[in-house]
């Protein structure tokens, strides 16, 4: 193993003009420019473990932010919008892609609106939701609506219907539609792989290309999402070929049985009556060699048979769908960027650290800011954190989604959130028009908690008891009312 200083000296060797990395990793831009040096790029691409994972995540994020300066710079558009306002014209932020999505046609509307963008999907996307009654929802997309949209889209498109039912549905199951086949299936390890029942169907490939762009966009915007992929599929995203030992991460029982052939006697192998072909319920019988159905598996050729079966199951089957997915994914995330990570680390980049059930409440507390007269020492704040600690892991994730539009906590912890999470105190009561009612009058309706997800801001009414706070908070996060709850 190499420590940070040895990594730097080794990777910088022979580079005259490269600036040294800062000890506290604050120099994101310096890291990005360093990565563009071909010698450093080779070190990080082929032996990424030479640098600690957290540091590579910071490097990856600096590459994203550097690219966003080019793809999402709205300075000129903002100036034009202000000029239009001064002249009494309609104000509209140019340079953004605007889409209108019907919640009950989530997948089809999203594919029709976004897939045509290709690499332009790196730009900011502004979403307007239309509810099941055909009315536009009230939320203004400052980033939070898009985060919810992407989270819902990925759950709908990636998670098979049977998997969603086994997991007990989801908070948005009544909203999401299933206007498409299952593009992924569940492995015995409860991870996702390409659904190979669609092998040979050219019409479905555009869906995989779209889903590659969608996952790439989630990573590009640092939005952590639910799907857990099998390691062989992640290897493909990294541009790697799978080998026999990777089969255990697809189907451990099949891997064990296949490898056991190596230790059988010649007679035991002959008794199995195997030939060089693979029988699969999803597709027709596949010959592993030309004329394989007439070539018996023997003690002499069993090793070849084992590797051909493994190659067929992991690198050949579903390869057209995977290739289409990869094409879309690389429209958003360049191949050399993700090669900073191993397959396991790439999964963390996609969905965060799954070892944490629910959320890290203590980590969230230590990073939280307060406004509107709130202070951590006040009873209402202590009631809130007690309520959050007593939530189930599923409720904690709903609480996080309610506040930030993302149900998974940041990969590098809540201290890395931008903007920092904040709780703002609001008046307890409002009249029928949503206007504040002065304290002490005892009239009006008791407010529910609300949020500004683009600011990671929870708006907490001034509740008078821990029981009232918990009741109202749970009602709000369980309602799944989109951007219409007040």
Q: Which residues are catalytic?
A: 454
Tell me if 106 sits within 8 A of 152, measured CB to CB.
Answer: yes
- DSSP structure class, residue 377: T
Closest CA to 345 of 411, 409, 410: 411
CA–CA dist 263, 15 (Å, integer): 52
Helices (H), 36-138: 38-46, 53-71, 75-86, 106-114
For β-strands 457-461 and 422-426, DSSP reports them as parallel
CA–CA dist 70, 485 (Å, integer): 36
Q: Is the dihedral of CA 189, 193, 199, 201 positive or negative?
A: positive
For β-strands 277-278 and 286-287, DSSP reports them as antiparallel
CA–CA dist 384, 424 (Å, integer): 12
Contact residues for 140 (Cβ-Cβ < 8 A; gap 6+): none
Tell me if 76 sits within 8 A of 104, measured CB to CB.
Answer: no
Query: How many C-beta atoms surround the C-beta of residue 334 within 10 A?
Result: 13
CA–CA dist 201, 178 (Å, integer): 20
- DSSP structure class, residue 436: B
Closest CA to 248 of 339, 187, 326: 187
The beta strand positions in 222-349, using DSSP E, are 277-278, 286-287
Rounded to 5°, angle at Cα 251 from 246 and 252:
80
Residue whose structure tokens are 């969230």: 364
Q: Is the dihedral of CA 369, 373, 379, 383 positive or negative?
A: negative
Query: 145 - beta bridge partners?
Result: none
Residue whose structure tokens are 């691409």: 45
Closest CA to 218 of 141, 118, 150: 150
Range 444-453 burial, b when 16+ CB lie within 10 A, else e: beebbbbbbb
For β-strands 286-287 and 184-186, DSSP reports them as unpaired
């Amino acid at each position: 193993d190499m420590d940070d200083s040895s990594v730097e000296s080794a990777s910088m060797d022979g580079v005259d003009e490269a600036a040294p990395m800062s000890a506290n990793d604050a120099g994101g831009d310096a890291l990005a420019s360093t990565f563009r040096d071909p010698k450093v790029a080779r070190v990080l691409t082929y032996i990424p473990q030479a640098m600690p994972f957290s540091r590579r995540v910071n490097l990856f994020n600096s590459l994203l932010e550097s690219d966003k300066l080019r793809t999402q710079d709205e300075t000129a558009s903002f100036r034009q919008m202000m000029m239009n306002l001064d002249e009494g014209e309609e104000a509209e932020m140019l340079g953004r892609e605007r889409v209108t999505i019907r919640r009950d046609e989530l997948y089809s509307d999203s594919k029709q609106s976004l897939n045509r963008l290709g690499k332009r999907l790196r730009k900011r996307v502004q979403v307007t939701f239309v509810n099941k009654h055909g009315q536009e929802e009230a939320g203004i997309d400052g980033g939070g609506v898009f985060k919810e949209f992407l989270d819902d889209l990925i759950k709908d498109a990636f998670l098979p219907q049977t998997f969603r039912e086994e997991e007990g549905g989801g908070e948005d199951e009544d909203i999401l539609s299933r206007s498409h086949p299952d593009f992924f299936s569940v492995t015995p390890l409860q991870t996702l792989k390409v659904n190979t029942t669609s092998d040979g169907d050219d019409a479905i490939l555009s869906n995989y290309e779209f889903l590659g762009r969608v996952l790439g966009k989630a990573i590009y915007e640092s939005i952590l999402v639910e799907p857990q992929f099998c390691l062989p599929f992640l290897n493909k995203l990294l541009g790697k070929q799978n080998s026999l030992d990777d089969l255990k991460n697809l189907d451990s029982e099949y891997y064990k049985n296949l490898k056991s052939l190596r230790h059988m006697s010649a007679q035991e192998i002959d008794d199995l009556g195997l030939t060089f072909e693979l029988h699969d319920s999803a597709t027709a019988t596949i010959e592993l060699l030309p004329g394989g159905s007439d070539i018996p598996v023997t003690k002499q050729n069993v090793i070849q048979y084992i590797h051909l079966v493994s190659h067929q199951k992991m690198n050949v089957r579903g390869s057209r769908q995977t290739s289409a997915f990869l094409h879309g994914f690389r429209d958003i995330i360049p191949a050399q960027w993700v090669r900073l990570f191993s397959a396991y680390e790439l999964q963390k980049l996609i969905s965060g650290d799954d070892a944490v059930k629910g959320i890290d409440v203590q980590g969230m507390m230590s990073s939280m800011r307060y406004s509107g007269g709130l202070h951590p020492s006040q009873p209402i704040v202590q009631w809130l954190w007690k309520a959050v600690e007593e939530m189930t892991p599923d409720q904690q994730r709903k609480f996080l989604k309610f506040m930030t539009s993302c149900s998974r906590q940041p990969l590098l912890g809540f201290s890395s959130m931008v903007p920092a999470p904040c709780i703002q105190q609001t008046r307890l009561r409002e009249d029928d028009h949503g206007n504040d009612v002065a304290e002490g009058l005892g009239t009006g309706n008791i407010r529910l908690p609300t949020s500004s997800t683009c600011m990671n801001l929870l708006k907490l009414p001034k509740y008078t008891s821990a029981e009232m706070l918990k009741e109202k908070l749970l009602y709000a996060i369980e309602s799944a009312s989109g951007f219409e709850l007040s």
